[in-house]
Structure 1
């Protein structure tokens, strides 16, 4: 296939699922990448552009992502491997695409003291990129998938290194994102190079028995199909064999040969709704004999990556066991494509970009705080890359823990106080040791005592989850808190003295809250304790406080100038002076002062075109209100202590691109009302920050819109458009 034919196939694939994509920009990205990579060759001898095209094809065919993702996939190596820069890509395409390309580019090579340090830093960067925009990792996984598909051209050492990295990092991340098809292929390709003999043995044995296996799967599929058709249940059923790596892992873990693998075959039944899932389960258990202890309900208890299905293992009429997975169409999409299945398309094919902000990504980033490289890598491999076990409290509540978890992990998952007071544990009503490995479906009861001495340091070695290890660490920090506080205070005061800052400035009632916020501690004692046990450094604390103290001093100076300007009364008419160019701040000119800190009040959210007044706040510059805001009423302005704090402000010529404001819409409740409001906002090119709606018992709906607009003219256009919607009674701007 020629390069042009490969590009035409890409366009055809994108048109198949997203006809509204920006094909002019996609072609421009292809042309730019082709020119940038001109003369470069891959190890196979092919022109380099073949690789970005193949990655874009995976992004389109496997993940069905938006136009921006396709463009970023085509451009993903230009910043790193060609003279093109982030700025070039940003100007020619968009800042978003430039950020995606930079995120996907290989991580910077830095010399680290240990392999763990390097791995930790690379993983940390990858997780941060994921938490900002999930498309970065989706494109990066596609990049790795194509590299693995063409790994035969690399040296044996490189093949093993890349395969191990894929197995340890990329396949588990694909699993965590729910992208099962890609995960399976990455695992199979890695196994091919990590254990070529084992891989070849499985593939050849499967090949020998292919006809026999195909006949069994066809017979079973017809049996299930016929019974469900008789009952009138709409469905799709199909069978598949376990993929080579899955078989290899079972053979290795359980020391079995291929004929002894318990569930070599799996059948999927995809139905219309959740009720049908449970109906089909009953039918399957009626046709075949269920194998006890092999049923899992991931619909009632979904996996953390959103995976939902019913799993049951049954004995077929031929005496061969097999697994049946039952799910709805939507569950099937999520099971196959994971996070990519959540991707929403706007009318022009651009993704919304917020689906990737997963709690587990943030949790993994938080767990690195205070942990050394070795411990962080351990927590990653356990929390993120291991399978989960689901266990129950005696009340029937489900706890999700990493595989290999112990009663210690369970106790701390419930509450740190339960873990700290634990003296023993029961599993399925039998007393067990604290290093007992929990299994799916176990009922775990923790025995506690108020006189318990607390966790032992050995628990750190037994606990599998980083949450338990972190809470045990916290307990030891707390036990030695007094000693830590004393040491931390001494180090902090020594650093203050070194920087010429007095303790009086720090503990001043006016300064202290802002300084504590800057170092992110609730009290000075908490900060001293952190410095004492090494979780925070005295240098870092003083450096952050020094910057805040300088800002406060500058603010006091500005406030003084503002009050002086407000109080100054000219004794005679001022003479006309030469026009002076006044510099505005955020589009606001403050009478009598340049470069003043300005903030917009949240009670009335003024925008250009509104009549406005300014209020001198204590420590935060000038707060700008709409003149009709109840908080800026004549009574408020004349209140005791307020007279000198109000001053004239006006809009400058250099206003911001947009300002946040709020609208309240009162309407008669009806179907598709929110759809019509969304369409009105879309046609006026209004950026929406948030929508909050509620229905009243008397048939009305109240809708609050948080939007960004350029000026009063655009705001009036938006309000007019909303007023034209059927059922809308009133559109107002809230104030006060």
Structure 2
């Protein structure tokens, strides 16, 4: 199909559901986008305009949005990928369309310290635009859907990165907006690249049993339709096999294979009115045996995204369980298209106003104020995408909270003042503890007192919703600044010491401003206060400052290294021994160099007691390797091109309290293996900064641990302890 034919297909689609659409404006947007993207190609080699056209087709065909949305979809990449600017789009089309395009665009012109910071700012910007006009996210999801449909042209690394982002962010947003069809496709496409073997296994097995499954669904549908016809209830009944990701998730969570999962089928019954929904429920329970505890009434208590339906799971006459969803036509429309259903047949922005139902977007943004990238992404997943429970106030008002919520979350959901003055809670008339887990249907009463001292710091660990944690942080930030500064400073200095640094390393006038800029606080007291009330962590502060300290030391290290190269003897005779330095750098004495930047190579992670050798790097001081490291092999040390850069180093008497290193354990895979490894590390009082485990196809497990140790003696003790674990075959220190 040519580009022109694709555009004509788009026009035909729009005309089919919206005869009054402004097709002249849509054509103008297409021609402008085609002109802006002229000469640009996609990874597939196709002209770039194919992508905006496909996104507009999704917006029209699957969401049936208004003319402005179609135009914005056609233009969605012109601000990001071409010289066109917001003002140009605003002048040629409209300020509303320009805002939609700007909202969908990424922040491509700003450099961020980390990938997480960039992702956070893109999401934050998108959510702000979304809170003003919900169409921004509808176009963005359509954009991501087409990118996922054409992901085969990207590199394997890009495929996994984009698929993970889609699974963690865009599919859940689609769910939160009630757009189930798009959510399912996004999940299935992501799984295809995240676990291609698992995906292919499920798809091929479903295809192999297609005839058997079709017969079961036809028989079940006929049973329901026959009874509804007898009762003269107008209806539409259809069934489907659950989509691959839904099956995959059930297999993973329940540790079952496909043959062991029986509730693969879901049936929908669509009727004319709410009364008929409950009548159909009675019919279904009469024909089939209902499974206890598997009935949910989302008509009486709708989900926050507006979803309404009756859900029940029953046992079929063949002994096969399946789910039945019963809803009206309007409910079905909202279920399939979510918030997009509010925009159908709307023109010239007349669909605006539905955003009032999505006040949660604004609350979400408020709750993230001051959060760093990692906290923002983590909180987003909890607040936006978690399963929910519905609880009631004593007056009968419904509050929806994340699964696992406590009375603390409930109190702060009502009002900050209620949470700050809380002294107790009752659930269903009985006093409960603050960490009591609320369940759907609970009636919760918060007991308050004007004399309450305010929240406890422990509440931060108990609360499940970011809204509650954010309000608790704000209270501590406002009421306890002096206390926060004291606590924050103590935590910061302890972390500095843990990393082998001291305050004097930071306080020089040439260093402190740059270090504070790295942590984005104007003064040290502001940073201490943030650490004290939980808005920032000492670990992140020191981590960011370490990078800046290395940058500051770079020039000095380079200068010393170059001087050493210039002054080094060129003869074949052995170098005369340099006088031993009294003070070492991080426990390392470098022959012939004083005050030199030292770093420990990540390839072999040496610790005190190891035989070591140094290598003078360009710009980063001396890199210390274990003598048995492949990167410090004899052939490399005698290479004429590198020989002058190898230097003698030794351990000093003033070593650090701990050094990072890596251990790798190979064992027979079994239940509780990781638990036994963790226990061994705990009994040796080993600090573990990270652990990764994987199973091999031949029944073995490989665990890689990032730990900190004092010296080789402690390392030897740890290795002996790990070797005593049942099933462990070898414990090694990776190198090279």
Give TM class, smaller chain.
0.5 to 0.7
Question: What is the DSSP-based 3-state SS (H/G/I as helix, E as strand, rest coil) of the residue aligned with 2:96?
Answer: helix
Q: Which residue of 2 aligns with 1:354?
A: 353
Spell out, residue by residue over 1:579-612, the C-alpha distance to the aligned partner (whole angstroms, 9 max, x if none): xxxxxxxxxxxxxxxxxxxxxxxxxxxxxxxxxx
Correspondence list, 1:55-94, <5 A: 55-94=55-94
Correspondence list, 1:240-255, <5 A: 240-255=240-255
Spell out, residue by residue over 1:481-506, the C-alpha distance to the aligned partner (whole angstroms, 9 max, x if none): 89899xxxxxxxxxxxxxxxxxxxxx
- Cα separation, partners in 2 of 1:101 and 1:447, compared to 1, 3 Å: closer
1:96 partnered with 2:58: no
TM-score, normalising length from structure 2? 0.62
Q: How far did residue 305 of structure 1 move?
A: 0.8
- Cα separation, partners in 2 of 1:33 and 1:472, compared to 1, 3 Å: closer
Q: How many Å separate the matches in 1 of 2:29 and 2:302?
A: 39
Q: Which residue of 2 aligns with 1:490?
A: none
Q: How many Å separate the matches in 2 of 1:350 and 1:459?
A: 44
Q: How far did residue 362 of structure 1 move?
A: 0.9
Q: Which residue of 2 aligns with 1:552?
A: none
- Cα separation, partners in 2 of 1:37 and 1:454, compared to 1, 3 Å: closer
Correspondence list, 1:390-539, <5 A: 390-392=390-392, 398-414=398-414, 416=416, 419-420=419-420, 434-435=434-435, 437-441=437-441, 454-477=454-477, 479-480=479-480
1:5 partnered with 2:15: no
- Cα separation, partners in 2 of 1:87 and 1:445, compared to 1, 3 Å: closer
Q: Which residue of 2 aligns with 1:289?
A: 289
Q: Which residue of 1 aligns with 2:147?
A: 147
Q: How far did residue 427 of structure 1 move?
A: 6.6
Q: How many Å separate the matches in 2 of 1:473 and 1:83?
A: 43
Q: How many Å separate the matches in 2 of 1:283 and 1:196?
A: 42
- Cα separation, partners in 2 of 1:396 and 1:286, compared to 1, 3 Å: farther
Q: How many Å separate the matches in 1 of 2:407 and 2:468?
A: 10
Correspondence list, 1:379-394, <5 A: 379-392=379-392
- Cα separation, partners in 2 of 1:197 and 1:531, compared to 1, 3 Å: closer
Q: Which runs of 5+ in 2 are unaligned?
A: 486-525, 532-736
Q: How many Å separate the matches in 2 of 1:53 and 1:292?
A: 49
Correspondence list, 1:282-361, <5 A: 282-343=282-343, 345=345, 351-357=350-356, 358-361=358-361
Q: How many Å separate the matches in 2 of 1:298 and 1:151?
A: 36
Question: What is the DSSP-based 3-state SS (H/G/I as helix, E as strand, rest coil) of the residue aligned with 2:385?
Answer: coil
Q: Which residue of 1 aligns with 2:267?
A: 267
Question: What is the DSSP-based 3-state SS (H/G/I as helix, E as strand, rest coil) of the residue aligned with 1:124?
Answer: helix
Q: How far did residue 111 of structure 1 move?
A: 2.7
Q: How far did residue 423 of structure 1 move?
A: 6.4
1:211 partnered with 2:214: no
Question: What is the DSSP-based 3-state SS (H/G/I as helix, E as strand, rest coil) of the residue aligned with 2:269?
Answer: strand
Q: How far did residue 120 of structure 1 move?
A: 2.3
Q: Which residue of 2 aligns with 1:721?
A: none
Q: How many Å separate the matches in 1 of 2:132 and 2:211?
A: 48
- Cα separation, partners in 2 of 1:265 and 1:113, compared to 1, 3 Å: same
Spell out, residue by residue over 1:233-259, the C-alpha distance to the aligned partner (whole angstroms, 9 max, x if none): 111111111111111112222222223
Q: How far did residue 104 of structure 1 move?
A: 1.9
Q: Which residue of 2 aligns with 1:278?
A: 278
Larger mean Cα displacement after TM superposition, 258-267 or 170-179: 258-267
Q: How many Å separate the matches in 2 of 1:458 and 1:483?
A: 16
- Cα separation, partners in 2 of 1:292 and 1:446, compared to 1, 3 Å: farther
Q: How many Å separate the matches in 1 of 2:476 and 2:85?
A: 49
1:422/1:446 contact within 8 Å kept: yes
Larger mean Cα displacement after TM superposition, 252-261 or 382-391: 252-261
1:21/1:349 contact within 8 Å kept: no
Q: How far did residue 178 of structure 1 move?
A: 1.1
- Cα separation, partners in 2 of 1:452 and 1:91, compared to 1, 3 Å: closer
Q: How many Å separate the matches in 2 of 1:435 and 1:114?
A: 35
Q: How far did residue 77 of structure 1 move?
A: 1.6
| RMSD (CA atoms) | 3.0
Question: What is the DSSP-based 3-state SS (H/G/I as helix, E as strand, rest coil) of the residue aligned with 2:291?
Answer: strand
1:135/1:353 contact within 8 Å kept: no
Q: How far did residue 424 of structure 1 move?
A: 6.6
1:367/1:376 contact within 8 Å kept: no
Q: How far did residue 209 of structure 1 move?
A: 1.7
1:177 partnered with 2:177: yes
Q: How many Å separate the matches in 2 of 1:11 and 1:463?
A: 51
Q: How many Å separate the matches in 2 of 1:98 and 1:449?
A: 51
Correspondence list, 1:639-658, <5 A: none
* Number of residue equivalences: 491
Q: Which residue of 1 aligns with 2:14?
A: 14
Q: Which residue of 2 aligns with 1:49?
A: 49
1:22/1:349 contact within 8 Å kept: no
Q: Which residue of 1 aligns with 2:126?
A: 126
Q: How many Å separate the matches in 1 of 2:414 and 2:81?
A: 49
Spell out, residue by residue over 1:91-114, the C-alpha distance to the aligned partner (whole angstroms, 9 max, x if none): 332232222222222333533334
2:342/2:351 contact within 8 Å kept: no
Q: How far did residue 219 of structure 1 move?
A: 0.8
Q: How many Å separate the matches in 2 of 1:192 and 1:484?
A: 48
Spell out, residue by residue over 1:285-311, the C-alpha distance to the aligned partner (whole angstroms, 9 max, x if none): 111111111111111111111111111
Q: Which residue of 2 aligns with 1:229?
A: 229
1:126/1:137 contact within 8 Å kept: yes
TM-score, normalising length from structure 1? 0.62
Larger mean Cα displacement after TM superposition, 253-262 or 459-468: 253-262
1:172/1:385 contact within 8 Å kept: yes
